[in-house]
Amino acid sequence: MYIGASRQKRVALVVFLAPAVFSLILFYLVPIFSSLVLSLLEYDPLKPTSEISFVGLRNFIEYFKYKDMRNQYLHVLYYLVLYIPLVLATSMTEAMLLNRSFTAKAAYKVMLYLPVVSSWVAVALIWRWLLHGEYGIINIMLRAVGIHGPSWLNNKQWAMPAVVLAAVWKDTGYYTLIVLAALKQIDINYYEAARIDGASPFKQFRFITLPLVSPTMFLLLVINVIAGFQVFESIYVMTEGGPAGATRVPVEQIYRNAFTYYKMGYASAIAWVLGAVIIVATIFQFQLEKLWVRYES
């Protein structure tokens, strides 16, 4: 689209950018600033505004003194340690499979991506049924081979792995397409030269595929760490933070304090602590980027 004089360009830019800028300010910056203000207040939306009081950093201090805070973040780390290797490995495997030609490839893509477009609530309910201790299909299949499966979602040891299993099943299709796009960008001549030199498929994968898709894998790592710290829907629907707090995470506590106990100031303080942790974790990942990410020159 050609826009004439510089004044016309400025007007056109303002007109086209105004809706996006307005949405950014209204739906992102204003809530962020409001939550910062709320974190310094004692505020219950069900009480009169006259009872709102300024408490300074008391909400933050109270949260840091909360005995379960450490466990919440340990649960998130446990989730990430299980989830990230699994989802990256399955995404890479599926992408390499889809990078080949085979019968019914289009139908396979649709089946792979179907969980991605499904609601997390629907997916979580399905997995609650699959993981039922007595009537779940998974335990029925295990009993068929002589294994007595646990009551997955009611067992402190197995509740988080069960949530991770559901999350990997739902998210793999999305990340597979991203990895597949990276594989499509690799020059096939690299593989032909490697085969002429006698490189095995494993060596081709190790010395060609992995280095050339490492920028994409780094992107997925950053995305998944950020998303992992904010995990909520799957845990809330499948376990509600149980059993006995075994899957309790920060976002679930934000929701519970804000919309069950109506402690908006305290919930906002938890959100800001979580935001700070995510920023630190992201910076740490970027510091380690140069150790294993290879950008093609």
What tens digit of pLDDT does each residue of 199-229 get?
A: 999 999 999 999 999 999 999 999 999 999 9
Q: In this prediction, what percent of the chain has a pLDDT beyond 90?
A: 72
**Which pLDDT score is estimated for 253?**
92
Handedness of CA 137, 142, 145, 147 (dihedral sign): negative
The single-letter code of the amino acid at 132 is H
- Per residue, the 3-state secondary structure of the chain, as one string, reads CCCCCHHHHHHHHHHHHHHHHHHHHHHHHHHHHHHHHHCCEECCCCCCHHHCEECCCHHHHHHHHCCCHHHHHHHHHHHHHHHHHHHHHHHHHHHHHHCCCCCCHHHHHHHHHHHHHCCHHHHHHHHHHHCCCCCCHHHHHHHHCCCCCCCHHHCCCCHHHHHHHHHHHHHHHHHHHHHHHHHHCCCHHHHHHHHHCCCCHHHHHHHHHHHHHHHHHHHHHHHHHHHHHCCCHHHHHHCCCCCCCCCCCHHHHHHHHHHCCCCHHHHHHHHHHHHHHHHHHHHHHHHHHHHHCCCCC
pLDDT digits (tens, 9 = 90+) for 219-259: 999 999 999 999 998 899 899 888 888 999 999 999 999 99
Position 130 in a domain: yes
**Which pLDDT score is estimated for 297?**
58
- The residues near 189 (Cβ < 8 Å, ≥ 6 apart) are none
Number of structural domains (the chain) is 1
Bridge partners for 53 per DSSP = 42
Position 36 in a domain: no
- The residues near 80 (Cβ < 8 Å, ≥ 6 apart) are 224, 225, 228, 229
**Which pLDDT score is estimated for 104?**
87
How many Cβ atoms are within 10 Å of 201's Cβ, its own excluded? 11
The single-letter code of the amino acid at 289 is E
Position 243 in a domain: yes
Query: In the predicted model, is pLDDT for residue 1 greater than 80?
Result: no
Exposure pattern of 158-191 as b/e (b: 16+ CB <10 Å)? bbbbbbbbbbbbbbbbbbbbbbbebbeebeeeeb
- Residue 215: exposure state from Cβ atoms within 10 A (0-12, 13-18, ≥19): middle
**Which pLDDT score is estimated for 240?**
87
Rg (CA), the chain: 24
CATH (domain of 178): 1.10.3720.10
pLDDT digits (tens, 9 = 90+) for 92-130: 999 999 998 888 888 998 899 999 999 988 998 899 999
Q: Global pTM? A: 0.90
Q: What is the mean pLDDT of residues 151-180?
A: 94
192: containing domain: 60-292
Q: In this prediction, what percent of the chain has a pLDDT beyond 70?
A: 98
**Which pLDDT score is estimated for 9?**
82
Q: What is the mean pLDDT of residues 10-14?
A: 85
Query: In the predicted model, is pLDDT for residue 157 greater than 80?
Result: yes
pLDDT digits (tens, 9 = 90+) for 22-69: 999 999 999 999 999 999 999 888 888 888 899 999 999 999 999 889
Position 145 in a domain: yes
Position 174 in a domain: yes
Query: In the predicted model, is pLDDT for residue 272 greater than 70?
Result: yes
Query: In the predicted model, is pLDDT for residue 2 greater than 70?
Result: no
Position 124 in a domain: yes
Q: Looking up tokens 């009993």, which residue turns up?
A: 143
Query: In the predicted model, is pLDDT for residue 5 greater than 60?
Result: no
**Which pLDDT score is estimated for 149?**
87
Q: What is the mean pLDDT of residues 5-11?
A: 77
Position 107 in a domain: yes
246 touches 160 (CB < 8 A): yes
Query: In the predicted model, is pLDDT for residue 292 greater than 60?
Result: yes
Position 91 in a domain: yes
pLDDT-based confidence at residue 4 (cuts at 50, 70, 90)? low
